[in-house]
């Protein structure tokens, strides 16, 4: 068996065997297969595709390239969620304590922001001294004691994906369904939870631009998760505007605190959908799950559980009780230049505006300013008059005019109201697609 024969076989449109897939994944991970040959194979996969079995074998080979998280020491029903990325998407930080209040164990490994999407770890690190760098024993101990823990992945979780994704990023091979599915699912399966809810985004602030693309990706990932014997489902959600009105690290924590205090919003709606569907995957009737969610919020237990998690991970939990302690930048308003409706947003540009201010990464090693960001003052469909505030920029005098100009161009005022501003559009599980 050799890599040239495997490349030629895929170029010819033939299916690769499990052994051939394991050969090229292991060979590339350990350095025996060079970048130029792997690039050729990746392009062949982009052009010729992979069927369900090939994608499953690719996912499994990537999963087995490094460590997996052993959750056997956790006492209870383990669950996890994954978002395909978006702007103002701070769902994990609220869903974890909510589910913990409901008796489930949330062992969540998260990542950092890159590009226009924010990272859960970066948001949590805006809380002074919050520790995301935990070994497996401490990670599992916190989950057992608190009910939830959010930490970073170890360096050796799915190393094949880290190496392959870096190559895909510079060879124009990111837009391939089997490669996307195997990348996401290898990491989710490596995280160890039995019950997994995927949040697949589409729109101007997501990698998938249309609902059909998002559904196709969700269906493929659910099939792989089912083959791996996990209870798995996926929500299809709209990212045509920021999910939270707060965009930026510390600001998004402020928004989460408002939500856990019971403030209704798109973020509240999204968290309720994610939490209740995940509880359903864990065996709870959907109607009962909705009541459990409402009780966790209205009783204040969910907010208290977040405080408990922050304290357990070394953070200053007083910031959750007193969000005014966050050191935020000075404010500058962006206003409407005409009467009309908020008809469209280039949501990814809102995320990039936060990066320009210093709140996100353009390069992997960029240092963040946790106190800058944007608070949206309007939602899609809102009626506005000339001079009304559309958004407030929190800044430290870095690139503020550039960010303001980008933000002004990203919010479109139109004569007519958009037809739909719905957030949750569909649910996908092993039984198929249900429109909501």
Q: Name the residues annotated as catalytic.
A: 82, 161, 168, 183, 187
Written as six digits, the tokens of 179 are 């490669």
- Distance from C-alpha of 214 to C-alpha of 84, rounded to nearest angstrom: 10
Count CA within 13 A, CB hemisphere, residue 56.
11
What value, to the nearest 5°, has the Cα angle with vertex 66 and ends 64 and 69?
Answer: 90
Q: Are strands 195-202 and 78-83 parallel, antiparallel or unpaired?
A: parallel
- Distance from C-alpha of 120 to C-alpha of 127, rounded to nearest angstrom: 12
Please name the residue that has the structure tokens 């469909």. 381
Among 40, 151, 146, CA closest to 100: 146
Count CA within 13 A, CB hemisphere, residue 281.
34
Query: Residue 69 in contact with residue 157, Cβ under 8 Å?
Result: yes
Cα dihedral sign for 364, 370, 372, 378?
Answer: positive
């Amino acid at each position: 068996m050799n890599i040239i024969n495997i490349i030629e076989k895929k170029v010819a449109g033939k299916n690769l065997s499990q052994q051939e897939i394991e050969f090229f994944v292991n060979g590339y991970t350990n350095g025996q297969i060079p970048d130029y040959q792997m690039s050729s194979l990746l392009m062949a996969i982009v052009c010729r595709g992979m069927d369900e079995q090939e994608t499953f074998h690719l996912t499994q080979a990537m999963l087995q390239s490094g460590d997996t998280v052993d959750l056997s020491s956790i006492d209870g029903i383990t669950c996890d969620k994954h978002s395909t990325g978006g702007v103002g998407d701070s769902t994990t930080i609220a869903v974890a304590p909510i589910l913990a209040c409901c008796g489930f164990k949330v062992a969540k490994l998260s990542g950092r922001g890159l590009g226009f999407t924010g990272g859960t770890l970066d948001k949590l690190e805006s809380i002074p001294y919050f520790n995301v760098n935990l070994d497996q024993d401490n990670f599992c101990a916190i989950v057992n004691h608190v009910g939830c823990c959010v930490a970073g992945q170890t360096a050796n979780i799915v190393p094949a994906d880290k190496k392959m994704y870096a190559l895909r990023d510079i060879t124009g091979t990111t837009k391939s369904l089997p490669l996307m599915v195997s990348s996401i699912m290898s990491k989710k399966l490596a995280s160890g939870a039995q019950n997994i809810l995927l949040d697949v985004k589409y729109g101007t602030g997501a990698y998938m631009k249309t609902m059909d693309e998002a559904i196709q990706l969700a269906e493929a990932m659910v099939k792989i998760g089912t083959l791996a014997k996990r209870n798995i489902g996926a929500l299809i959600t709209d990212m045509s505007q920021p999910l939270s009105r707060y965009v930026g690290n510390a600001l998004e924590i402020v928004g989460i605190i408002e939500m856990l205090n019971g403030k209704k919003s798109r973020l509240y709606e999204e968290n309720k959908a994610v939490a209740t569907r995940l509880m359903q995957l864990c065996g709870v009737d959907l109607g009962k799950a909705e009541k459990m969610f409402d009780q966790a919020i209205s009783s204040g237990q969910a907010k208290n559980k977040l405080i408990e998690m922050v304290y357990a991970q070394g953070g200053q939990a007083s910031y959750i009780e007193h969000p005014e302690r966050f050191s935020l930048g000075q404010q500058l308003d962006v206003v409407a230049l005409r009467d009309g409706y908020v008809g469209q947003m280039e949501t990814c540009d809102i995320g990039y505006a936060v990066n320009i201010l210093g709140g996100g990464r353009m390069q992997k090693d960029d240092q963040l300013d946790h106190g800058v960001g944007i608070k949206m003052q309007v939602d899609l469909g809102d009626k506005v008059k000339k001079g009304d505030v559309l958004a407030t920029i929190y800044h430290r005098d870095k690139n503020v005019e550039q960010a303001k100009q980008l933000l002004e161009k990203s919010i479109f005022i139109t004569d007519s109201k958009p037809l739909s501003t719905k957030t949750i559009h569909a649910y996908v599980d092993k039984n198929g697609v249900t429109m909501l």
